[in-house]
């Protein structure tokens, strides 16, 4: 899964554990949103009552924060991907050989790639670390 943790990520993880009481080692950033991945069984505990923990972390970091379940293999890849890129839609999600291929309409394709391929590179890094597969938008 996620290979290296830099100091900024370490601070985020420590803050997350202190506020929620849930320890995790999976955090990443996509499109200026900080994501924390926790086991599905403790997702509601991490969110807190009425999502108070989520709001508290977001206020401290001053960025949008999302808490999502850890994917349990390649068969959860589509749901994991959809959760990250939401509200952007796509037509098809396929895993072929060692590559994840996403087919999207023109407007969504632009949103998935981003200016200067920024979102494309972020997603490549995320999918490579979680699933060990390359990523391509078609």
Mean pLDDT estimate for the chain: 88
SS (H, E, C) the chain: CCCCCCHHHHHHHHHHHHHHCCCCCEEEEECCEEEEEECHHHHHHHHCHHHHHHHHHHHHHCCEEEEEECCCCHHHHHHHHHHHHCCCCCCEEEEECCEEEEECCHHHHHHHHCHHHHHHHHHHHHHHHHHCCEEEEC
Give a yes or no: residue 107 inside a domain: yes
Domain match, 86 and 58 both: no
In this prediction, residue 35 has a pLDDT band, given cuts at 50, 70 and 90, of very high
Domain boundary among 38, 69, 100: 69
Is the pLDDT at 81 greater than 80, yes or no? yes
Question: What is the domain range of residue 116?
Answer: 74-137
The predicted model scores a pTM of: 0.86
Domain match, 63 and 82 both: no
Structural domain count, the chain: 2
Is the pLDDT at 2 greater than 70, yes or no? no
Give a yes or no: residue 1 inside a domain: no
Give a yes or no: residue 91 inside a domain: yes
Is the pLDDT at 134 greater than 80, yes or no? yes
């Amino acid at each position: 899964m996620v290979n290296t943790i830099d100091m900024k990520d370490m601070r985020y993880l420590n803050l997350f554990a202190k506020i929620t009481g849930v320890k995790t080692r999976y955090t990443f950033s996509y499109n200026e949103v900080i994501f924390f991945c926790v086991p599905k069984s403790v997702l509601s505990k991490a969110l807190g009552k009425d999502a108070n923990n989520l709001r508290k972390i977001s206020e401290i970091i001053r960025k949008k924060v999302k808490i999502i379940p850890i994917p349990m293999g390649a068969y959860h890849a589509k749901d994991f991907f959809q959760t990250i890129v939401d509200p952007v839609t796509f037509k098809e999600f396929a895993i072929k050989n060692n590559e994840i291929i996403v087919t999207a309409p023109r407007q969504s394709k632009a949103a998935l790639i981003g200016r200067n391929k920024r979102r494309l590179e972020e997603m490549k890094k995320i999918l490579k670390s979680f699933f060990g597969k390359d990523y391509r938008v078609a």
